Amino acid sequence: MEKEGFIRSLTMLEERGVKVQAIVTDRHTGVQKVIREEKKDITHYFDPWHMGKGEEAVAKWTSVANHIQDVHAHDNALFPCCQHEPLVGERARQWLRPSTAACERLTAILLAPRFLKDVEKISPLYHTSYIEAFHSLIIRFSPKSVGFSFKGMLARLQISAMHYNENAQRTHARTSTVYIDKLMALLFECVVQDAAPYQEHSDNIPVPEPLCGQYERPDKKEAVSRHRSRFFKST
């Protein structure tokens, strides 16, 4: 679904004349493949937990393999030493001993070639924290454990967007004033003074067929005959 949603969103932007030069996503392999094979003119970045540049980010990341062994000087011109103060007294740690099983396993994870390749693609500027927050908000209005009609889901998405736009840049509340009353007044007194056109538009929204109804069901006897158990059966 993430891959399909990405394709549809990108297609919609392109159809509306938006020239997409760069995209920041998570490390979803399906999305990576679409961009790599079908959208070669788009630069693909990964969302960073911290800001950084490609090679410098790799140098900092690989230095962790030394740090966990109490080695804080690194043979790397981009990041020659750890930036923390000397760890002494209460700040000292129980370091991993070199060549032990635990140290070798953790180092293998830190220096995995595929992961380091992805670290190089960390976005130098943009990240997805805001859209992740919006997605979390959507779940508040439309929990995944509940099924909604198409129009019901559309309405909940619109309410989520209104809620997010009203509160995204808002400072922490200092009074008990409820913003919902203000938002409702804005909607029905300034925007939707006459609800008839909106109701007519809603009635004319085409409702797509359920996804499960778009696929042909196999014949029951054929499906049963092709079934194979995952359990071994002795003869």
SS (H, E, C) 138-189: HHHHCCCCCCCCHHHHHHHHHHHHHHHHHHCCCCCCCCCCCHHHHHHHHHHH
**Is 105 within 8 Å of 59 (Cβ atoms)?**
no
Q: Report the domain count for the chain.
A: 3
pTM above 0.75, yes or no: no
Separation between Cα atoms, residue 76 and residue 154, nearest integer Å: 52
Residue 216: pLDDT over 60: yes
Is 142 within a domain? yes
Q: Look at the alpha carbons of 63, 67, 69, 72 in this order and tell me if their dihedral is positive or negative.
A: positive
> What is the structure's pLDDT at 49?
52
Say if residue 113 is in the same domain as residue 89: yes
Range of the domain at 84: 54-119
Minimum mean pLDDT among 58-62, 118-122, 196-200: which range? 118-122
Give mean pLDDT, residues 189-208.
85
pLDDT tens figures, 92-143: 778 888 889 999 998 998 888 887 877 777 766 677 777 878 888 999 999 9
For the chain, the average pLDDT equals 82
The reply to whether 97 falls in a domain is yes
Q: Are strands 43-46 and 22-25 parallel, antiparallel or unpaired?
A: parallel
In this structure, the answer to whether residues 38 and 16 fall within a common structural domain is yes
For 147-159, how does the pLDDT look when each residue is reduced to its tens digit (9 = 90+)? 899 999 999 998 8
Whether 202 shows a pLDDT value over 80: the answer reads yes
Average pLDDT over residues 211-226: 80
